[in-house]
Chains A and B, each alone.
Chain A
């Protein structure tokens, strides 16, 4: 993965933004520590210096100059406290005692706190030391200077500066590498999705986004994407199937239609013959249209888009309406049309597609049952489920063919001579699938018993 892309990711930028306050916090913390500690060191130095001045002035007051000179010499000697500075001079600033060579020039006239630098020998190297001191005028014109070497303060300053720099560097390194790591991880997951969609764009609809299996938000997203891809693939397959069957089943009747017209045109121009051909052509066109419409209805059911129009409906009412429509036809053919309808059997369904399915089933049953036979329609509860059963006493369907008749355009040889597109049962199968209903074909001994078993509608609210 190129670093350029890593740096451009939103995660990287966000991680950096997140890191910035930590950097500021580190600086503020060290700042407080630094200023606070320096203040403390200075205050301590001041207090010590003032206490010493008081003590020395007392010594001078009670025991005179000789005692003071003695004490100062003692304290500034090797036994005295390291880092303490003393200087006692006469009124003309000639040094009398102490470890400072001369009165600092800038402090000749001043009386307040002083800061100056002094060259001191340490391990044979002359280094500049910062001194903090306070002058004091003794009675008799003698002048006293007490101070402290602030080298420790400088050392502390250096330590703090170094630590601060180090802390900042560590924070930045941790932040940047963390951001890089995070964006790299994220980019890998995004890349997996992008790669999959590129493959799909190239035409491989079977590809799916890989899941990490951790159940995290990316898995969640990938799972949703996969579900969508599944649906798209199904729709595509459905489309292809429709196109195939359209090509297959409309081409031959269209060819027949064209042939009929060509033959008529080639023959002698006879008005009566033309009329006859035209009438036949309209009949052909109607048949093609019927096939086309049946295919469209199946497609509508199979695509699942029809699910939006599903409502709660009573199977019994639907069945009674269909029975009413077909009753005269059955009677005309000398069939007994029986019914066994339980009331209050509700499902959630598509009214038009279901009505068309029931009509197709009755149509088929009446068509294939010879005169004197019986056709019956039942609606009943079977345990939890709602069942719609169409039974007839016709020739039935051999067990080995039962699966096959649900496919499109399959018409068993025995029925080749009856009219019909061969799509009636396919529509029923597609509508059953749309309703997630189970379709069973059984032997009615004699005849066919077809059961559509639905999920019941959820109980009505209120």
Chain B
């Protein structure tokens, strides 16, 4: 996977490049807006991480230019502007996701993975399947190993989100945004309680757990243990 990072702060860029390389990505870096846009137009990257405030050309303009050129490269926008309206502006410009600084690297990695797979995760499928766990989106039923599982509507939505991002790390913030549409962090980690409830329903009584906790990052739904 080839990633372009456009970030002007040298220390942050260094940290991003190092972290992403360690995670198995091939990373190019541009320290300035115009160079970044030039690189993005010249090569086919799998995804881009773009800082919102850049010298030369700001991040939103880069994304807008790319989209105007019919470049569909997934873009993760990084910004110090945290208000909901700023977020909306970022997404409207054509960004696929918006992450507020400062962020945990695990959060960035999880979101990067999510936008890389966005093509598959949002298609209109009728059935989702992870190992022996099956979800029918039409009849809104869930079965594991052929056995029906009763879920509350919100639990169903939570599981759907996890199954659509199967194999990836999903952070608590992503769940709050994706399942509850809450763009703030509650004082208490309420998400953990919801996930452990869901885990009770889908994993209890089966040898192989599917819903894993990823320490310091979030959760992951996958067949094999890490």
Residues of A at under 8 Å CB distance from B? 285, 289-290, 293, 296-297, 300, 306, 308-309, 321, 324-326, 328-329, 332, 352, 355-356, 359-360, 363, 366-367, 419-421, 424
Contacts of A359 in B (CB 8 A): 182, 184, 186-187
Most buried by A among B85, B154, B183, B186: B186
Q: Report yes or no: B190 in contact with A293, Cβ–Cβ below 8 A.
A: no
- B186 / chain A contacts, CB cutoff of 8 Å: 325, 356, 359-360, 363
Is B83 positioned at the interface, with any CB of A under 8 Å from its CB?
yes
| Known contacts A355-B184, A360-B186, A367-B188; 19 further A-B pairs (Cβ under 8 A) | A290-B185, A290-B187, A297-B184, A308-B85, A325-B190, A325-B194, A328-B190, A328-B194, A328-B197, A332-B193, A356-B182, A359-B187, A360-B187, A363-B186, A363-B188, A366-B188, A367-B187, A420-B187, A421-B187
Per the bound structure, the CA–CA distance linking A424 and B184 in Å amounts to 13
Is B180 interfacial (CB-CB < 8 Å)? yes
Asked if B84 lies at the interface with its beta carbon under 8 angstroms from chain A, I say yes
Q: B residues within 8 A CB of A424?
A: 187
Docked CA distance A419–B184 (Å): 18
B146 at the interface (CB under 8 A from A): no
> Across the interface, which residues of A come within 8 angstroms of B205, CB to CB?
none
Q: How many angstroms from the CA of A356 to the CA of B83 in the assembled complex?
A: 13
What per-residue 1/0 map shows which CB atoms of B183-211 lie under 8 Å from chain A? 11111101001100100000000000000
Contact in complex: A289, B85 (CB < 8 Å): no
User: B214: CB under 8 A from chain A?
Assistant: no
Q: Which of B102, B180, B185, B193 contacts A321 (CB 8 A)?
A: B180
Q: Are B193 and A328 in contact (CB under 8 A)?
A: yes
Alpha-carbon distance A421/B182, docked complex (angstroms): 20
The A-contacting residues of B in range 153-199, CB under 8 angstroms, are: 154, 180, 182-188, 190, 193-194, 197
Is B82 interfacial (CB-CB < 8 Å)?
Answer: yes
Q: Are A356 and B84 in contact (CB under 8 A)?
A: no
16 sampled A-B residue pairs with Cβ under 8 A: A296-B83, A306-B83, A309-B84, A325-B180, A325-B194, A328-B190, A332-B193, A359-B182, A359-B184, A359-B187, A363-B186, A363-B187, A363-B188, A366-B188, A367-B188, A420-B187
Q: Are B193 and A356 in contact (CB under 8 A)?
A: no
Given A300-B83, A309-B84, A321-B180, check contact A293 B185 (CB 8 Å).
Answer: yes
Top 3 nearest A-B pairs by Cβ distance?
A328-B193, A356-B184, A363-B187
Known: A293-B82, A324-B154. A329 touches B190 (CB 8 A): yes
Q: In this complex, what residue of A is CB-closest to B182?
A: A355
Q: Assuming A328-B190, A329-B193, A420-B187, is B82 touching A352 (CB within 8 A)?
A: no
Q: How far is the CB of B3 from chain A (nearest CB, A)?
A: 25
- In the bound complex, what is the Cα–Cα distance between A309 and B182 (angstroms)? 15
Q: Who on chain A is nearest to B191 by CB? A: A325
Q: How far is the CA of A309 from the CA of B154 in the complex (A)?
A: 26
Residues of A within 8 A of B184 (CB): 293, 297, 352, 355-356, 359
Q: How far is the CB of B161 from chain A (nearest CB, A)?
A: 14
Whole-angstrom distance from the CB of B106 to the nearest CB of chain A?
11
Give the shortest distance, in Å, between B219 (CB) and chain A (any CB). 15
Q: Give which listed residue, A289, A352, A366, contacts B102 with CB less than 8 A.
A: A289
A329: B residues at CB distance < 8 A: 188, 190, 193
Produce 1/0 per residue, B54-86, CB < 8 A to A.
000000000000000000000000000011110
Category for how many chain B residues contact A: 10 to 19
**A242 CB, min distance to chain B CBs, angstroms:** 14
B183 — which chain A residues lie within 8 A by C-beta? 352
Task: Name the interface residues of B127-162: CB closer than 8 Å to any CB of A.
Answer: 154
Cβ of B78 to closest chain A Cβ, rounded Å: 15
**In contact, B188 and A309 (Cβ under 8 angstroms):** no
Chain A, Cβ-Cβ closest to B195: A328
Alpha-carbon gap, A300 to B102, bound state (A): 19
Contact between chains at B190 and A296 (CB < 8 Å): no
Q: How far is the CB of A344 from chain B (nearest CB, A)?
A: 21
Q: Which residue of A lies closest to B184 (CB)?
A: A356
The residues of A that contact B197 with a CB separation of less than 8 Å are 328
The docked-state distance in angstroms from the alpha carbon of A420 to that of B184 is 15
Q: How far is the CA of A359 from the CA of B194 in the complex (A)?
A: 15
Query: Which chain B positions have C-beta within 8 A of A308?
Result: 85
Chain B residues with Cβ below 8 Å from A419 are 187
Q: Are B185 and A352 in contact (CB under 8 A)?
A: no
In angstroms, how far is the closest chain B Cβ from the Cβ of A326?
A: 6
CB distance from A22 to the nearest CB of B (A): 58
Residue of B nearest to A308 (CB): B85
Q: Which residues of A contact B84 (CB under 8 A)?
A: 309, 352
Q: Are B82 and A296 within 8 A (Cβ)?
A: yes
- Contacts A290-B185, A359-B182 given; indicate if A309 touches B85 (C-beta within 8 A): yes
* Measured CA separation A366–B91 after assembly (Å): 35
| Cα distance, A45 to B91, chains bound together (Å) | 97
Give bound CA distance, A321 to B180, whole Å: 7
Chain A residues with CB below 8 A from B193, complex form: 328-329, 332
- State the Cβ distance, A423 to closest chain B Cβ, in Å: 9
Question: What is the CA–CA distance of A424 and B182 in the complex, to the nearest angstrom?
Answer: 16
Q: How far is the CB of A404 from chain B (nearest CB, A)?
A: 20
Q: Select from chain A the residue with minimum beta-carbon distance to B194.
A: A328
| Bound-complex Cα distance A367 to B190 (A) | 12
In the assembled complex, how far is the CB of residue A368 from the closest CB belonging to chain B, in whole angstroms? Answer: 12
Q: Shortest Cβ distance from A218 into chain B, in angstroms?
A: 37
Q: How far is the CA of A308 from the CA of B85 in the complex (A)?
A: 9
Measured between beta carbons, the chain A residues less than 8 angstroms from B194 are 325, 328
Q: Which residue of A lies closest to B83 (CB)?
A: A300
Q: Smallest CB–CB gap between A448 and chain B, Å?
A: 17
CA distance A453 to B159 in the complex (A): 36
Q: Which residues of A have CB within 8 Å of B187? A: 290, 359-360, 363, 367, 419-421, 424
| Residues of chain B with a CB closer than 8 A to A326's CB | 190
List the B residue with the shortest CB-CB distance to A359: B186
- Give the distance in Å from the alpha carbon of A355 to the alpha carbon of B188 in the complex: 15
Q: How far is the CA of A366 from the CA of B187 in the complex (A)?
A: 11
Which residues of the other chain, B, contact A420 by a CB distance below 8 angstroms? Answer: 187
Bound-state Cα–Cα, A357 to B188, Å: 13
Query: In the complex, what distance in Å separates the CA atom of A355 from the CA atom of B184?
Result: 9
